[in-house]
Chain A
Amino acid sequence: MSAERPDFEELFRAHYERLVRALTLVAGDRERAADAVQDAFVKAHLKWRRVGRYDDPVGWVRRVAINKLRDEHRRDGRKRRALDRLSAEPAPFTDAPPHDELGELLDELPPQQRAAVALFYVDRASVAEIARALDVAEGTVKSNLHDARRKLRGVLDNREAAG
């Protein structure tokens, strides 16, 4: 039974960084993202005999981490807005670029669109995986990606033309 389960540490090392980077875009703060991902991995570890048997244990971790961020967002909207503003500043432990037009656009994206692009382009999750993580239909994810991509493309093309 346990032989069929992937190794927890292996899974952690394979996915931790990408998840944190993706959720950094969602949360706007590297530390919060890391906290959420670590929290999700702790829960996965505690239930590993069950979670490890899932077809997509990383999907479970991804969803738990996103749910944690959502809960925090609901619980403390004011604090989150402050953190969002702080996200414009480079965190001392990251080499994130200064806030620019792309950053502003990301901040302005609806949370679900921002999560979809972060998971798709940074975490490299599939549309189906994102749909499961966000608990929405695949069509909704596609719509989010389509809209967000168009906006991001506009910003990036302008930057390229100006630069």
Chain B
Amino acid sequence: MSEFDDDIIASALEHRAGSGALGIDGAYAAVAGRVAATRRRRAAVAGVGSISGVVVLAALALTSVTPDVVQTPSDSVAPSLSSMPATTETPSTSASTTALPTTTEQSDRTSTTSEPATPTSAPSASTPASSVATSAPAGSTPTGSTPTGSSPAGSTPPATTPGATTPPGSSAPATTEPDDTATTEPETSEPETPPTPPFSSRSYSSAGGSITVSWNGAALTLDGTSPASGYTASVEAAEDDRIRVRFDGAQRWQIEVRADSDGVVTSSVSS
């Protein structure tokens, strides 16, 4: 009991507030519909952001790549981070580090330029290109993922900003630059991304479709899925430390993003 309890006031106010049925089933359906629409919109925005980012970075790559250091796509793969304000690697640097992923074919360079940590992790020019490769581009191998940022090189805004209101503990962390923890072991062939600081959103692609995932430093959030034409997406897991989405179509693809207890976010794509 509270000192303010008053049945008469409560009754009068409840009467005032209306006692008619509110159609809760309809309200729930409306909420579910808005949620679905929001997720579709986010996925679409993420897709557009990724594509435009790739186009912009590809254009940058076209202006800087040198023919004598080009390698085959399968030799180098690298993830690209979302929310990266700009590339930290200059074209001249990429041209001189012959064995780094920055010297790969244009489309792969494209994603590499948005990941400043990876090039700095390469110990020397003798390091095989594959030693800094952590994931394969979509479609190139069945076991690699190609996370692409929603705002690479500052060309587009972040794809999603969930929650306009900011209740306690719900604010999205500010996107920060990746640090040196992105260093990967030589000879690593695991399809995992380097350790990653919080990011607002990042897309992971496969031939069956792509997903957009946020990482706030403590929990992963599946922002949206975008199946390719002829594919359907099924969310198999959406936990704080694991997101797994399956795309069924002509072939079955699966994208999995994990966050380990050290806050290291990794991803894999399989078919």
Contacts and interface: CB of A to CB of B under 8 A. Distances in A.
Contact of B6 (A13, A38, A45, A121): A121
Contact of B18 (A60, A95, A152): A95
Main secondary structure of the interface of A (DSSP, over half): helix
A49 B239 contact: yes
A12 B165 contact: no
Contact of A43 (B9, B13, B165, B219): B165
A60 B168 CA distance: 8
B259 to A, nearest CB: 12
B2 interface: yes
A121 B7 CA distance: 8
Nearest to B243: A49
A134 interface: no
Contacts of A94: 18, 20
Nearest to A51: B170
A116 to B, nearest CB: 9
A161 B10 CA distance: 18
Interface residues of A, number: 56
Name, among B24, B27, B32, the residue most crowded by chain A CB atoms within 10 Å (CB to CB).
Answer: B27
Interface string A41-77: 1110111011100100000100110011001000000
Interface string B2-29: 1010101110111111111010100110
A42 B28 contact: no
Interface residues of B, number: 40
Contact of A102 (B6, B16, B164): B16
Contacts of A2: 238-239
Given A47-B170, A95-B20, A153-B6, A117 B165 contact: no
A120 B1 CA distance: 12
Interface string A126-163: 11000010000000001001100100110010000000
A153 B9 contact: yes
B27 A38 contact: yes
A38 B28 CA distance: 8
A149 B31 contact: no
Interface stretch (B34-42, B108-116, B175-183, B262-270): B34-42
Given A46-B38, A127-B2, A153-B6, A16 B15 contact: no
B22 A17 contact: yes
Contacts of A121: 6, 9-10, 13-14
A149 B4 contact: yes
Contacts of A145: 4
B17 A122 contact: yes
A24 interface: yes
A156 B13 CA distance: 11
A30 B241 CA distance: 40
A82 interface: no
B67 interface: no
Interface string A2-31: 100000010011001100111011000010
Nearest to A124: B10
A45 to B, nearest CB: 5
A60 B167 contact: yes
Contact of B24 (A16, A47, A54): A16
Nearest to A30: B18
A60 B169 CA distance: 10
A42 to B, nearest CB: 5
A47 B214 CA distance: 11
A34 B240 contact: no
B170 A50 contact: yes
30 contacts: A1-B241, A9-B28, A12-B24, A12-B31, A16-B22, A20-B22, A21-B22, A25-B13, A30-B18, A38-B31, A43-B163, A45-B31, A45-B32, A46-B38, A47-B163, A50-B221, A51-B170, A60-B167, A63-B165, A63-B167, A67-B167, A94-B18, A94-B20, A102-B16, A106-B16, A122-B13, A122-B14, A127-B4, A152-B9, A152-B12
Task: Give the 7 A-B CB pairs with smallest separation, nearest first.
Answer: A94-B18, A21-B17, A121-B10, A96-B18, A145-B4, A95-B20, A45-B35
